[in-house]
Amino acid sequence: MILLAQRRAERLSPSAGGARHAGNMNLADASMRWCAHLTQVRRLSPATVRGYRADLADLAGDLGAETALIDIDLEQLRDWLWHATTRGASRSTLARRTAAIRGFFDWATDDGLIEADPALRLVAPKRGRTLPTVGAVDAIDDLLAAAADRAEDGDPVAVRDRAVLEMLYGSAVRVSELCGMRIGDLDPERRTVRVVGKGDKERVVPYGGAADRAVTHYLGSARPALLARGDGAAADALFLAARGGRLGPRAVYDVVSRALAPAVGRSAVGPHALRHSAATHLLDGGADLRAVQEMLGHASLGTTQIYTHVSSERLAAAYRQAHPRA
CATH H-level superfamily of 137-322: Intergrase catalytic core (1.10.443.10)
The alpha carbon of residue 181 and the mean position of all alpha carbons in its chain are separated, in whole angstroms, by 16
In whole angstroms, what is the distance from residue 286 CA to residue 265 CA? 26
Reply yes or no on whether 218 is catalytic.
Answer: no
In whole angstroms, what is the distance from residue 122 CA to residue 1 CA? 28
Rounded mean pLDDT, 144-151 = 93
Active-site residue among 198, 203, 213, 314?
198
Domain with CATH 1.10.150 in the chain: 2-110
Reply yes or no on whether 198 is catalytic.
Answer: yes
Predicted local distance difference test score (pLDDT) of residue 322: 58
Reply yes or no on whether 201 is catalytic.
Answer: no
Reply yes or no on whether 276 is catalytic.
Answer: no
Predicted local distance difference test score (pLDDT) of residue 104: 95
What sign does the dihedral 285-290-291-297 (CA atoms) show? positive
Reply yes or no on whether 275 is catalytic.
Answer: yes
Reply yes or no on whether 320 is catalytic.
Answer: no
Predicted local distance difference test score (pLDDT) of residue 214: 96
Selecting from 1.20.1740, 1.10.150, 1.20.140, 1.10.10, what CATH number does the domain 2-110 have? Answer: 1.10.150
Q: What is the pLDDT of residues 253-262, one digit of tens each?
A: 989 888 877 6
Domain with CATH 1.10.443.10 in the chain: 137-322
Residue type for position 106 = D
Active-site residue among 102, 217, 223, 275?
275
Strands, E, within the chain: which ranges? 186-187, 192-196, 202-206
Residue 205, pLDDT > 60, answer yes
Integer Rg of the chain from CA: 24
| Cβ neighbours for 276, distance < 8 A, ≥ 6 positions apart | 132, 133, 134, 307, 310
Active-site residue among 11, 20, 78, 272?
272
Q: What is the pLDDT of residues 151-200, one digit of tens each?
A: 999 999 999 999 999 999 999 999 999 999 999 999 999 999 999 987 78
